[in-house]
Structure 1
């Protein structure tokens, strides 16, 4: 089939490459000329494992092309995936839908009058958005339909999550739209991926409800970490014991610095804001506390580090291991790691940051901070080290060798992935949220 993908950011670029990998002819469209030029040359504009090879393969085969023209995209095929960003509005917690509406309104005048063009939203939007877009679109193209097919991508695993997702959710208003989406995703359905057809409002809510539930689990275990720390208990053992209960499960019960990135924080805020518009703010009032607990973890990590350096960061050198909001990504949007680094810098410390992939993005976002391309350089003469993004290579660090370059062997393991006994045996004082003092 011939498909277009409107918006070639994180979701769009991955979706376009994966649809071409499944055998479709795909045209990606974006107003960012520099990004389109890079993608057309087979170069992804961000780091995502597995994407670069797939992108180049699809471009070289001719199955994947890119354009800056919405008119060309409208003529290319009859199914158009809208994958633009929906950030938080600068003046409220609501989702900013300018890019979604702009993409549809830019596409609509160029859609052919004949046939049945299908506009498929993948962006995360407030419930009710699809129905409003459909009403506006039909005033321009009466035969056009709108469906909603939310993405459930995890950065660092996005290619896998697209080619072998846990489910495909299709919010549709007609059997025709459902049949077309089933045809597009035939290779996935043949691999027995569940296909859940529903109305557009439910499809919109599936994404928001899922993200809210995951955020709730993360903040719940971090709230328990606060209790554990005050009571002298161990949150890691607590989480392991809870996770053995099949009703609860172990996933997302990982205490630490909390969540960040471009999805969970803004999605739970937008969900709460939309519920309030519907007169149901009390039903999801807990999401405000989930957000507050998450933000509190960042302040708590800063406070732990400050206590380790004697109560003041003035004239102290601090090494920060991690800049991306999660491993296997170079995304620094709402990064807890960088929020912590910046807070420590503002309290008077000299901060040096290392990250395997995100240095360039982090430097652009926080030009006042210092960065190092080598872990050892980042830790030279450090009074305290913070482990804030759980890259696998940080787990493999030799604490004995690292102790020889720091000024003081003290570390805050904000992600709970370092072996405390090994580090303590090497002479390090280790602090971790929700755990007894080690060293």
Structure 2
């Protein structure tokens, strides 16, 4: 197979696929047959922000998850462990359970949450040596089965087990905290420009504080990618749905700051060009949302170009 034609660009991915394909990695279009023969099924489909109906613009669209659950239910003839890999709002497992357990065919399903912490651009290194693997579930046997898979290469002390809801919420919270750091340094960058301070020097000064650390403190046009904005909006929606208005407003501000930074960057370009870009050629060096990926989802470059 021509591994140079993988649809996703990720450093080291082609080598991993090349080594595993035909040994313990197989691709099939017989989905029902694959489900029927499996002991454990991972759901790794997209969960974009809803563009319609209740929760439009904030809540996660679970139609792909639901379609997966229905197909698994229809194709299963033996007990299965179902693993949520997709980033999901808290309590999605409830919906999965409801669909899977009401099939009437006597099959038992155990649902686990195993959120994905691989970062684009460093996903293979993150896979080989993760900071932690998080597994949430209520059935000890099912949790142990997934722990044993990871334990073949991940030290046991890095495999954290929690209840289902803690695991689901931890993924959203981790991304919200990282995005918050980006928005925080970007807010300071605007202050630096007005006062004559250098934001890189400020970032270095605070980054050497061991309580803060240096990562995610690089002032920029703002964060992009398929996760940060989507996950924070999801967090905001969940908080609002429970009536936690202050919590929702707090996290919403991270997005507001990010949008402001992108717009400010675009405005600065126009201002530098004497307030007109008519008839002028502007080159964008980089269209993906960050280096070492071909993913352009929510890329700040797109917003700047549109502005």
Same fold (TM over 0.5): yes
Instruction: Tell me, yes or no, if the aligned pair for 1:131 and 1:200 is still in contact at 8 Å.
Output: no
Which has the higher mean CA deviation after the structures are superposed, 192-201 or 83-92? 192-201
Q: In the aligned structure 1, how far is the partner of 2:125 from the partner of 2:31? A: 29
| Gaps in structure 2 of 5+ consecutive residues | none
**2:165 partner SS:** helix
Instruction: Tell me, yes or no, if the aligned pair for 1:120 and 1:147 is still in contact at 8 Å.
Output: yes
**1:318 partner SS:** coil
Q: How many residues in Structure 1 have an aligned counterpart in Structure 2?
A: 300
Corresponding residue number in structure 1 for 2:306: 342
Corresponding residue number in structure 1 for 2:124: 159
Of structures 1 and 2, the one with the larger relative CO (CA 8 A, separation 6+) is 2
Matched, 1:223 2:187: yes
Which has the higher mean CA deviation after the structures are superposed, 134-143 or 208-217? 134-143
Task: Give matches, 1:363-378, under 5 Å.
Answer: none
**2:296 partner SS:** coil
Matched, 1:257 2:221: yes
Instruction: Tell me, yes or no, if the aligned pair for 2:77 and 2:107 is still in contact at 8 Å.
Output: no
Instruction: Tell me, yes or no, if the aligned pair for 2:225 and 2:298 is still in contact at 8 Å.
Output: yes
Measured after TM superposition, the shift of residue 280 of structure 1 is: 1.6
Instruction: Tell me, yes or no, if the aligned pair for 1:138 and 1:145 is still in contact at 8 Å.
Output: no
**2:263 partner SS:** helix
- Deviations 1:380-423, CA, capped at 9 Å, x for gaps: xxxxxxxxxxxxxxxxxxxxxxxxxxxxxxxxxxxxxxxxxxxx
Measured after TM superposition, the shift of residue 214 of structure 1 is: 0.5
Measured after TM superposition, the shift of residue 72 of structure 1 is: 1.3
Measured after TM superposition, the shift of residue 193 of structure 1 is: 5.6
| Gaps in structure 1 of 5+ consecutive residues | 1-39, 344-439
TM-score between the two structures when normalised by the length of structure 2 = 0.93
Measured after TM superposition, the shift of residue 52 of structure 1 is: 1.0
Name the CA shift for 1:64/1:172 in 2 (closer, same or farther; >3 Å). same
Q: In the aligned structure 1, how far is the partner of 2:215 from the partner of 2:283? A: 29
Q: In the aligned structure 1, how far is the partner of 2:299 from the partner of 2:203? A: 24
**2:98 partner SS:** helix
- Deviations 1:227-253, CA, capped at 9 Å, x for gaps: 111222211111111111111111111
Measured after TM superposition, the shift of residue 136 of structure 1 is: 2.6
TM-score between the two structures when normalised by the length of structure 1 = 0.66
Q: In the aligned structure 2, how far is the partner of 1:250 from the partner of 1:319? A: 31
Matched, 1:89 2:44: no
Q: In the aligned structure 1, how far is the partner of 2:128 from the partner of 2:210? A: 28
Q: In the aligned structure 2, how far is the partner of 1:75 from the partner of 1:109? A: 9
Computing the radius of gyration from Cα coordinates, the structure with the larger value is: 1
Matched, 1:286 2:247: no
1:49 aligned to which of 2, 5, 11: 11
**1:289 partner SS:** helix
Instruction: Tell me, yes or no, if the aligned pair for 2:73 and 2:99 is still in contact at 8 Å.
Output: no
Matched, 1:77 2:41: no
Corresponding residue number in structure 2 for 1:368: none
1:67 aligned to which of 10, 20, 28: 28
Q: In the aligned structure 2, how far is the partner of 1:142 from the partner of 1:76? A: 13
Matched, 1:125 2:100: no
RMSD: 1.5
Measured after TM superposition, the shift of residue 307 of structure 1 is: 2.1
Q: In the aligned structure 2, how far is the partner of 1:236 from the partner of 1:41? A: 43
Name the CA shift for 1:193/1:336 in 2 (closer, same or farther; >3 Å). farther
Measured after TM superposition, the shift of residue 131 of structure 1 is: 2.5
Matched, 1:308 2:272: yes
Measured after TM superposition, the shift of residue 192 of structure 1 is: 5.0
**1:109 partner SS:** helix
- Deviations 1:145-167, CA, capped at 9 Å, x for gaps: 10000001110111121221110
Q: In the aligned structure 1, how far is the partner of 2:138 from the partner of 2:240? A: 26
Matched, 1:100 2:71: no
Instruction: Tell me, yes or no, if the aligned pair for 1:70 and 1:107 is still in contact at 8 Å.
Output: no
